[in-house]
Amino acid sequence: MSELQQKNDGDLLKFIEEKREELRKIRFGTAGSGMRNSHAIRDIRREVAQALTELTKRTKVGA
């Protein structure tokens, strides 16, 4: 979480976009096989949520 606090808004948006793309690849890449790495999915979703929380916190403080 501390490394997310050090990034600027543009970097956070880029980070969120990359993680969402990674999550999409995991979901659709394993759709037919039935094997999923649920821990990786959970970790990526958590990272996206933390980045979104940091962005929201910044916008509320800036307003």
- Domain with 51, as residue range(s), is 2-62
Q: What is the pLDDT of residue 34?
A: 64
Which stretches in the chain have pLDDT values below 70?
1, 30-36, 63
Q: What is the pLDDT of residue 26?
A: 86
Residue 51 class from Cβ within 10 Å (0-12 exposed, 13-18 middle, 19+ buried)?
A: buried
Query: 3-class DSSP state for residue 5?
Result: helix
Number of domains in the chain: 1
CATH number at residue 38: 1.10.287
Alpha-carbon span 52 to 48, nearest angstrom = 6
Q: pTM higher than 0.95, yes or no?
A: no
Q: What is the pLDDT of residue 5?
A: 85
Give me the torsion for CA of 14, 21, 44, 55, rounded to 10°: 30
Q: What is the pLDDT of residue 33?
A: 66
Find out whether 29 and 57 touch, Cβ atoms under 8 Å: no
